[in-house]
Amino acid sequence: MKRTKKNAPVSRSGRFTAGPGADVAQFTESVSFDWRLGRHDIMGSMAHAMMLQHAGVLTRREQLAICRTLDSISQEIRDGKFRWKRELEDVHMNIEAELTRRVHAGAKLHTGRSRNDQVAVTMRLWLREEIFTLAEELGLLQRALVGLGERNADVIIPGYTHLQRAQPVYFAHHLLAYAEMFKRDRQRLGDCYFRMNVCPLGSGAIAGSTLPLDRELVARLLLFTDLKGKPRVTQNSMDAVSDRDFVVEFCAAAALLAVHLSRLAEDMILWATREFNFIKIDDAYTTGSSLMPQKKNPDVAELVRGKTGRVIGNLVALLTLLKGLPMTYNRDLQEDKERLFDTADTVRASARLMTAMLRHTSVNKEACRAAASDPALLATDLADYLVRKGVPFRKAHHAVGAVVAQAERANKPLNRLTVAELRSVDKNFGADAPAVFNLEKAMAQRKMTGAPSGKEVRKQLDRWRKTFAKLD
């Protein structure tokens, strides 16, 4: 691009004698990625135009011409027909330039507005929609977890701590742990939405406007309202144009969500190994190896886990971007978009793929049963047996430790020790002690709220079903 005045974007007209050099234009443009904000930029502009009519800046005819043209531009964007021009820098200038080319009065639209408050409102509008879509996606993910749990309601697996077999749990109980995590993720997104849903338009470049703008009207038109329908507008113009808390908050909530998805992915990867063999992930969500014909690799789960790295990275990039920025708007802030878009796209796709994969996962009941019938999983129950006989828990723990060691020495599973062998460690073991190793009975005893008895897990599954029904 030559440095001629003709190439100069609106932001350089008047003050500058020539447009930027090609390298500068390429370095500073953002339309190659912020074009995604087009529809939302137009929503903001339409509300602004209506307000300008109210304030007497635009006639009704002018306002209508502007809004109609913006509407057709919006449709062209949606249909991929709008021609974005890099030399016009960003989404806002592209749309305004095209509007003004088609409608004379378009040149009045930027009255009392700066790109600084314009981009702030546009991003909020974009993110509001994104949060809705993501929250919906999480709802489907929770349903998939509950569905897989329900289809395998009788399956018991070992629960692990330190990746060592710990105590038996229902498979559904393990899945519902994730449903709880995703519930908190949804709540966090809701909090973020609430704090973000405040209108910054009217803040101008930094210090508002000398014109009689009606900020509340714009806020109402764009649904920046509280539960009672009262408009919510930002209370400090400097804060409003430089605040990107909402982007950070979303990316932080998304990073935690990605971490939860990653842990679930990791569990599935482990469960799908020959060593565990608890589940079978449908072929559609796995790939083969180019070299080893026997391989079936859980690539989708691995990528869900792997992509978490970039989502965490995006959060760190944003915090680093903001740290040390002097008030108020600085062009650095343009760097927020790709991080935000990437985070939103990545977590949405990961959640969606995880949902699909869960729907196409089956459980190998025999392998689960075999693993869960390891009597060592009930060593704590044996200690609880002694506690019921009045032995202090520390002593009981010690005694069962000795019993475990004895079984190891005798090379027998824990439940094969005779009552006499048990009594040689502690006289409080009675004839009923071996009954402790009845897995079904052991599970039934874990019946407190949040514990994994069959009855409690069923109750939790039903509770989730009811929550879903309320949302439908």
Kindly provide the b/e burial profile for residues 214-232, where b requires at least 16 CB atoms within 10 angstroms of the residue's own CB: bbbbbbbbbebbeeeeebb
C-alpha to C-alpha distance for 118 and 201, rounded to whole angstroms: 7
User: For ligand ARG, which is the closer residue by CB, 90 or 185?
Assistant: 90
Query: How open is the CA angle 230-236-238, to the nearest 5 degrees?
Result: 140
Asked if 170 touches ligand ARG (CB under 6 A), the answer is no
Asked if 244 touches ligand ARG (CB under 6 A), the answer is no
Which amino acid does the sequence have at 112? G
Query: Which residue in 126, 246, 250, 329 binds ligand ARG (CB under 6 A)?
Result: 329
Asked if 29 touches ligand ARG (CB under 6 A), the answer is no
Helix residue spans in 233-327 (DSSP H): 237-242, 245-271, 299-322
Asked if 249 touches ligand ARG (CB under 6 A), the answer is no
User: For ligand ARG, which is the closer residue by CB, 228 or 331?
Assistant: 331
Asked if 333 touches ligand ARG (CB under 6 A), the answer is yes
Beta-carbon count within 10 A of 393 CB? 12
Cβ-contact 223, 315 below 8 angstroms = no
- Which amino acids are annotated catalytic? 162, 289
User: For ligand ARG, which is the closer residue by CB, 224 or 329?
Assistant: 329
Please, what is the minimum distance in Å from the beta carbon of residue 357 to ligand ARG? 36
β-partners of residue 167 are: 159
Please, what is the minimum distance in Å from the beta carbon of residue 134 to ligand ARG? 22
Which string of x and - marks every residue 280-319 that binds ligand ARG (by CB under 6 A)? ----------------------------------------
Interface region with ligand ARG, contact rule CB under 6 A, candidates 64-72, 269-277, 331-339, 350-358:
331-339
Please report, as residue ranges, which positions from 103 to 122 form the binding site for ligand ARG (by CB under 6 A): 115-116, 119
Please, what is the minimum distance in Å from the beta carbon of residue 126 to ligand ARG? 12
Contacts of 295 (CB under 8 A, 6+ apart): 288, 289
Please, what is the minimum distance in Å from the beta carbon of residue 334 to ligand ARG? 4
What CA–CA distances, in Å, run from 220 to 47, 374, 405?
9, 63, 72
C-alpha to C-alpha distance for 186 and 196, rounded to whole angstroms: 15
Cβ-contact 340, 251 below 8 angstroms = yes
Give the H or E element holding residue 293.
none
Query: Which residue in 15, 331, 388, 470 binds ligand ARG (CB under 6 A)?
Result: 331
Please, what is the minimum distance in Å from the beta carbon of residue 243 to ligand ARG? 13
E runs forming strands in 59-182 = 156-161, 164-170
Asked if 124 touches ligand ARG (CB under 6 A), the answer is no
User: For ligand ARG, which is the closer residue by CB, 32 or 273?
Assistant: 32
Which string of x and - marks every residue 75-104 that binds ligand ARG (by CB under 6 A)? ---------------x--------------
Size of site (CB under 6 A) for ligand ARG: 9
Please, what is the minimum distance in Å from the beta carbon of residue 329 to ligand ARG? 6
What CA–CA distances, in Å, run from 354 to 214, 261, 263, 360, 422?
46, 8, 12, 10, 47
Residues in touch with ligand ARG (CB under 6 A): 30, 90, 115-116, 119, 329, 331, 333-334
